[in-house]
Structure 1
């Protein structure tokens, strides 16, 4: 059970890290509300199914939980890549504006 909890916490932490990077590179305050909504969309399925799996005794494999993990991982990787791209773009824009 502890491996399951550790994996769930690590998955959600990576998702949070990805959105923190996007949040740091965001320039607009209106985007922050959208980022919170997107974060909830990315993290809610895994949290719901992880709590459901921990509280219920299923005799068969919980395929929905596996799909929730896969969705969260893919969502996190995409958000991380977007965050890195936005951060590099922001850094390049700042360097260009300082040179002029």
Structure 2
């Protein structure tokens, strides 16, 4: 399998994992539907540029593809940190309600 394809799949799976953990820790309300456009915003640039790079073989370095990877990784890391904060906050609320 192509190295670019492997990195793209891994990056998109990390992004999906981050957003799934946010979705599972929040209450299932209508506000949770806002996670779908945020997921698309995070993953679409990388998918577009990876497909473009596979279809047309450029002779020079594809700076846009590197920036798309960097954007997706930073976006995924921020989403993952938010998910961890929500998980810790939820556990603290559950522990406080059990103590009272």
**TM, length-normalised to structure 2:** 0.95
1:56-67 equivalence runs, <5 A: 56-67=56-67
Give 1:31 deviation, angstroms.
Answer: 2.3
CA distance in 1 between counterparts of 2:31 and 2:22 reads 10
4+ runs of 1 displaced by more than 4 Å?
A: none
Distance 1:28 1:13 in 2: 22
User: Counterparts in 2 of 1:20-99, with a 5 A limit?
Assistant: 20-99=20-99
Structure-1-length-normalised TM-score:
0.95
For the aligned residue pairs, the C-alpha RMSD in angstroms reads 1.1
SS of the aligned residue for 1:59 comes to: coil
In the aligned structure 1, how far is the partner of 2:45 from the partner of 2:38? 12
